[in-house]
Structure 1
């Protein structure tokens, strides 16, 4: 069992970001999803350990306003694509030149935007993400802004109930999370076609929250689709996801 390490770096504007690292070997940067954390998406259910055992140094930042990272309330701390700024600063701080990159949901979206902004991973992993989750992100984001604005009054059966429950369990700073959501933009289909490295679109069988992962794989020049168990909330709890990622990266 690898030893989990934790460090901090300065992200955009000096925001303090927690970075969790597991294993030794080839660097793999993994970015978690909205309202989640490195612990919940990658560490808790064993997928980071699977990748560490496969020979990777798994580097897992907590996004700003998430996990153990700072959650500033200043709107100036959330310019357009601030998560890409943070990701770029992390890779520069660690001196990574030959690495792999992946993310789940919002982390997948951030990874794609990072590549479009100039990051050059050898391989790319997009978990829990479909084509419309990138090109139609504004609609998806509006769903979460609505959940924040109605927090505490959303009843079971409401489409926003799951988001409210997850925010409660993760103790999300809703002021910071709302500001963060406003910094995220759509990614056009034309832009997606410029992501040319081998890319794995891995998604739960019952996960259509961000549209079709198979369609995303088909839109990518070197995309591949792999189906694993679960829905958008549960797919990260199955080790099938970690195994599919390790197999793709080892090829």
Structure 2
């Protein structure tokens, strides 16, 4: 497997953020953003997706969002203003010196939400990927947010069989800082119609056939100017573990 580099940089508010990189420096850059409570290592490297992209000639850049992975998880609520993850992503693109149209950008679940926010704020990737996401997940965040807040607030009471069990188990596995995570959750906002309209580039909506966690992926593809629905096997949690995700990424990003 290609060597995994770890880099650190500082956001405009002083928070230290990390990203992992794989592939040659002169490879075609693609930024992939992980899902909620995960990190770049778990989402993109562990199951071989980044390695597939490196083999196809890409340089894969995988940020750890604030309050996740190797990045800082401040406990100050002021560190989590509305739209902070999209702002961090825009600043990362600027820090890396990537030109508009000169890189690809995408994410899984929360990473898709962050991608939509950043494109809505002006990023213009060559191609975009929204995986683990449906239309309702972008336009109905309040219900989804409440679910995760309840999981955090009742963290020590949740038992096997409870609706929040899988979320709590994943937080335990990932060592999530619950104070920081709870501050972060309200910083997300529903996608504005103009954000979706900003996806003038080819956009893949890659989602597990059993994944309804964030609503309808086909409906999201239909709502985008140039959306393409690409089904893969699995649920919201299991689809990340299938090689089909990496294969779909390579197929889409290398298409003529």
Normalising by the smaller structure, the TM-score range is over 0.9
**Residue in 1 that maps onto 2:199:** 195
User: Cα–Cα, structure 1 residues 241 and 94, in superposed 2: closer, same or farther, change >3 Å?
Assistant: same
Q: Is the 8 A contact 1:128 1:232 kept in 2?
A: yes
Query: If the length of structure 1 is used for normalisation, what is the TM-score?
Result: 0.98
> In angstroms, what is the RMSD of aligned CA positions?
1.0
Which deviations, in whole Å up to 9, do the C-alpha atoms of 1:86-109 show, x marking residues without a partner? Answer: 101111111011100000000001
Q: What secondary structure is seen at the aligned counterpart in 2 of 1:19?
A: strand
Matched, 1:108 2:115: no
Alignment of 1:66-105 (within 5 A): 66-97=68-99, 98-105=102-109
Alignment of 1:70-219 (within 5 A): 70-97=72-99, 98-189=102-193, 191-219=195-223
Structure 2 unaligned blocks of 5 or more: none
**Residue in 2 that maps onto 1:7:** 7
Q: Is the 8 A contact 2:37 2:170 kept in 1?
A: yes
Query: 1:12 offset after TM fit, Å?
Result: 4.1
Query: If the length of structure 2 is used for normalisation, what is the TM-score?
Result: 0.96
Q: Is the 8 A contact 1:12 1:77 kept in 2?
A: no
Q: Is the 8 A contact 1:130 1:213 kept in 2?
A: yes
Query: 1:189 offset after TM fit, Å?
Result: 4.1
Query: 1:222 offset after TM fit, Å?
Result: 0.3
Q: Distance in 2 between matches of 1:37 and 1:232?
A: 16
Q: Distance in 1 between matches of 2:64 and 2:3?
A: 18
Query: 1:11 offset after TM fit, Å?
Result: 2.0
1:245 equivalent among 238, 241, 249: 249
Matched, 1:28 2:30: yes
Q: Distance in 1 between matches of 2:32 and 2:211?
A: 20
Which deviations, in whole Å up to 9, do the C-alpha atoms of 1:113-149 show, x marking residues without a partner? Answer: 1000000101000010000000011211111011001
Query: 1:194 offset after TM fit, Å?
Result: 3.1
Q: Is the 8 A contact 1:99 1:121 kept in 2?
A: yes
Q: Distance in 2 between matches of 1:14 and 1:194?
A: 29
Query: 1:190 offset after TM fit, Å?
Result: 5.2
> How many residue pairs align between the two structures?
251
Moved over 3 A (4+): 188-191
